[in-house]
């Protein structure tokens, strides 16, 4: 029986450790590289998503600005007209004639789509109304509202009606009943 003596056991242990360490470094560096790629890809994707959302919010903000700018004109016109109405009611406050009541009454009765351009009142109780309607149905609603309103008018006369581009211009004379 022959026995072998291995004098290189210590060297083999050292080389096994070196091999294990090398494998550990290879696997560890591979895992670190994969982890790094995943983190880098996630940050890149997050940045792309964030840029897209910034663009979307910017577009919505621009649309809102455009809408606000278009509504500014309408709002300023409405405020201006209300101020004119207040001024007119203050000017026309005269004993015997209730201009304020007549103007506010006609404004309340007019449906959307009716714009009253001129309201003339005289001491005989006649009210002349000049305005425009978006269509004939809106004008019909306004005339029906005037006749059914409970306000005592002797007569409601449509004195003129002109069909303009997308508008109907009208003149109405309202005769108050004399008591």
**CATH, residue 158:** 3.30.1360.100
- Of the residues 91, 114, 134, which one is the last residue of a structural domain? 91
Calculate mean pLDDT across residues 71-82. Answer: 83
- Of the residues 38, 73, 91, which one is the last residue of a structural domain? 91
**pLDDT score, position 127:** 83
- Of the residues 91, 109, 143, which one is the last residue of a structural domain? 91
Calculate mean pLDDT across residues 147-157. Answer: 75
Q: Which of 60-69, 77-86, 113-122 has the highest mean pLDDT?
A: 60-69
Which residues does 96 contact at the CB level (< 8 Å), separation at least 6?
123
Same domain, yes or no, for 82 and 106? no
**pLDDT score, position 112:** 84
**pLDDT score, position 35:** 95
Say how many domains are in the chain.
2
Q: Which residues span the domain enclosing 155?
A: 94-176
Higher local confidence (pLDDT), 48 or 158: 48
Q: What is the mean pLDDT of the chain?
A: 83
Same domain, yes or no, for 136 and 79? no
Beta strands in the chain (DSSP E): 93-94, 97-98, 114-121, 126-133, 153-164, 167-176
**pLDDT score, position 179:** 55
pLDDT surpassing 80 at residue 45: yes
Same domain, yes or no, for 23 and 37? yes
**pLDDT score, position 7:** 65
Q: How many CB atoms lie within 10 A of CB 73?
A: 9
Residue 2 lies in a domain: no
Q: Are strands 167-176 and 126-133 parallel, antiparallel or unpaired?
A: antiparallel
Residue 104 lies in a domain: yes
3-state secondary structure at position 152: coil
Same domain, yes or no, for 70 and 98? no
**pLDDT bucket at 92, cuts 50 / 70 / 90:** low
Residue 3 lies in a domain: no
Range of weakest confidence among 19-23, 79-83, 130-134: 79-83
- Which letter does DSSP use for residue 165 in this model? T
Residue with token string 């897209």 = 52
pLDDT surpassing 60 at residue 96: no
Same domain, yes or no, for 65 and 132? no
pLDDT surpassing 90 at residue 31: yes
Calculate mean pLDDT across residues 20-42. Answer: 93
């Amino acid at each position: 029986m022959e026995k072998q003596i291995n004098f290189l056991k210590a060297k083999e242990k050292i080389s096994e450790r070196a091999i294990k360490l090398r494998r550990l470094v290879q696997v560890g560096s591979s895992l670190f590289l994969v982890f790094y790629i995943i983190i880098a890809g996630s940050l890149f994707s997050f940045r792309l998503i964030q840029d897209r959302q910034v663009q979307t919010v910017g577009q919505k903000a621009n649309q809102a600005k455009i809408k606000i700018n278009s509504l500014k004109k309408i709002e300023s016109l409405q405020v201006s007209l209300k101020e004119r109405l207040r001024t007119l009611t203050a000017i026309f406050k005269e004993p015997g004639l209730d201009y304020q009541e007549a103007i506010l009454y006609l404004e309340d009765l007019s449906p959307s789509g009716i714009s009253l351009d001129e309201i003339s009142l005289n001491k005989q109780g006649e009210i002349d109304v000049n305005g425009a309607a978006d269509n004939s149905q809106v004008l019909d609603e306004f005339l029906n509202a005037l006749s059914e309103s409970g306000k005592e008018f002797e007569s409601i006369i449509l004195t003129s009606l002109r069909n303009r581009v997308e508008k109907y211009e009208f003149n109405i004379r309202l005769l108050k009943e004399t008591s």
